[in-house]
Structure formats: structure tokens, C-alpha cells
Amino acid sequence: MTRFCITISVAFFILLGACDSDKQPLLPKVTGKPGEIVLVMDEYQWGSETGEFFRETFSQPVIALPEDEPIYDIVRIPSSGFSNLFKSHRNIILTKISSRHQKPRIIVQRDIWAKPQIVINVIGPKDSTTLNYLIENREKLVTLIDQIEIERTVQNYKKNRAKGIDQILRTEHNLSISVPAGYNFDVDTARFIWISHEPSDRMQGVLIYYYDYTDPNTFTEDFLVKKRNEYTRRFVPGPNAGSYMSVESEAPIYFREYTKDDRYFAEIRGLWKLENGFMGGPFISITTLDESRNRVITAEGFVFAPGKEKRNYIRELQAILQTFKVVE
């Protein structure tokens, strides 16, 4: 087994390289809950500005949820309490701040005591340079943990995917997505697919729909929200007559564009509601262009979980969307 280290520099780049040998024992599976971080920091540091940095960073709310939920839950323990019980945790931040260190740096190691694990070493002197370095790299630090959390879920879903769903999508729609066992088709028409997981306490749904690319304004927030409402009004009815899903226009809508594997995506996050009903929750959608077939494709995940925290549920759907591909 090879362990890897990632160094995050002040220049905002990540350098990946092997850092240890091939003679590693078989590692246990990680422990801890999704969205949880063990922070190893002594009391005097926890009460300092550096401790405040970690509290502020990980307590900021997840965007596009109906109620505020922190992006991560922190379990803070002193260095003397960092026992084997905690060493198998999925996400660990080790603070090593002392006068022995001349300059601040962050070294990220994977699979040290368990697998798949991330161990983030925050190293630096006691002066203000360490805090300033952390502040400069705040977004990159959060993004890194986000990526690892999503990656874990993606790998799990690929191992335990509902193979029949992916096969039908490939054969009938030239699309691919890895949804875990427990998801089933609700609707499968020529251009609209609804797949859902419905245990007793919640519903997690995946919608996929596509249409001809004819409008140069397609990849804008207004167009995509309008198009979503058209499809959900037609295909996602509520339990009462005349009820249907729509975007909650009174809540903030978050729009961003990005490229993955040389493919452009437009992402929207927001809240949905049930017109003429009393249901609602968060959703996340990604939209791309299938140039070879001249079609616009949207894949979306939405959650209905009344009375429950929704952060981890929407992240599970985000991981599903990460597996979405157009079959060429």
C-alpha cells in the first residue's frame, strides 16, 4: 500500500506525491459519521484566534438548505486524548503549532490509520503567520475535505450500485449514473426519468430530463429554473389534486458554472416546494450539453425529509450526480 501526502502552499496549489512505503498493514475501515471532523487541538489553542478560525470555518452554514446546518461537525479533543479510538476517524485535523516551526504549512495524508481516511496536519509557529496562512487557504481547505467526503460516497455507490438502473439509462437514453441499491424507477419516459429512494423517514429523488438545444440563453439561471418548473409541473405531482413540484422563488438560488473532464456544467442549488401542498426541501441540479445529439441534459437530486437535518442527504445526492456521464 502506498500512502500519499498533499502539500497546500501559500501560492494556492496542491502538490501530490507518494510519501511512504509499500509495507503497510491492512487498514480497518474508517469510523465516524459523514460530515464529522476530529480536530486535535489543546485547550489554549482552542481558545485562541486559531481555534476561532476552525470554529468559524466549519460552522458556516451549508448553502441552499431550509434551515442552517454547519458544513461540518467538529469533535475537538486535546492531543493527550488522541487515542486509537479517534485515530480511525474518517477526517482528522492535527494541529502542530509551536515555536519549533519556522513557517506555516498544511500537509494532507491519506489512509494513515484507516481507509479511506484524510489526515490534515496544520503546522506552524505560534505567531500570526500561521493564522494568516490558514485564512488565506480557508476555501481550499474546505474544498479539499468536501472532495474527499464526496469521493468516499462515490466509491461506495459504484461498488453497491443498482446495476439495472444504469443499464436501462445506457441502453435507452445514452446516459450513465451510479445510484445505490434501494433506488427504483418512478417515471421513465422518452425524455424524463425519475428515480427515488423512499425509506419511511424521507425521500431522495433523482430527476433526469433532456430536450433539444435551440436557445443560446439555455445555460442561464433564469432559463434553467423555468425549464425545471415546466418538467416538474408535468411529471412530479404531489399527493393532492393540482399539486406539483416547483422552485421556491422566495428563497435564494445559487448558480455556478464549472468544467469537469473537459465537459461544461451549469449547477443550480435552491429549495423546492409543492404548489397547492405542504412539502418542500433542498435540491441540486447540473446541466450539460450533449453536442453529438444536440440535447441539453439536466440531472438533479432533491430531498424531502421533514423534521430531519438534510445536509448529509443532499451530499449523498451530490455524490450521485458526480457519477453522471453522457454515453458517447
Domains of the chain, CATH where assigned: 4-157 (no CATH), 162-326 (3.40.1000.10)
| Separation of alpha carbons 267 and 284, rounded Å | 7
R_g over Cα of the chain: 22
Which residues, 6+ apart, have CB-to-CB distance to 222 below 8 Å? Answer: none
Nearest to 319 by CA among 177, 192, 185: 177
Nearest to 35 by CA among 86, 117, 79, 91: 91
Q: 97: phi > 0 → left, psi -120 to 50 → alpha, else beta; which?
A: beta
In angstroms, the Cα distances linking 188 to 122, 208, 239 are: 49, 9, 19
Q: At a CB cut-off of 8 Å and minimum separation 6, what does 32 contact?
A: 38, 88, 89, 90, 91
Task: Give the Cα-Cα-Cα angle 317, 319, 322 (nearest 5 degrees).
Answer: 115
What is the model's pTM?
0.91
Give the integer Cα–Cα distance in Å for 328 and 223. 26
Residue 121's CB: how many other CB atoms inside 10 A?
A: 17
What are the pLDDT tens digits along the chain (328 aa)? 344 555 544 334 344 333 454 555 699 999 999 999 999 999 999 999 999 999 999 999 999 999 999 999 999 999 999 999 999 999 999 999 999 999 999 999 999 999 999 999 999 999 899 999 999 999 999 999 999 999 999 999 989 989 899 999 999 999 999 999 999 999 999 999 999 999 999 999 999 999 999 999 999 999 999 999 999 999 999 999 999 999 999 999 999 999 999 999 999 999 999 999 999 999 999 999 999 999 999 999 999 999 999 999 999 999 999 999 999 8
C-alpha pair distances (Å), 61 with each of 19, 271, 312, 317: 35, 15, 13, 18
- CA–CA distance, 95 with 45 (Å, rounded to integer): 9
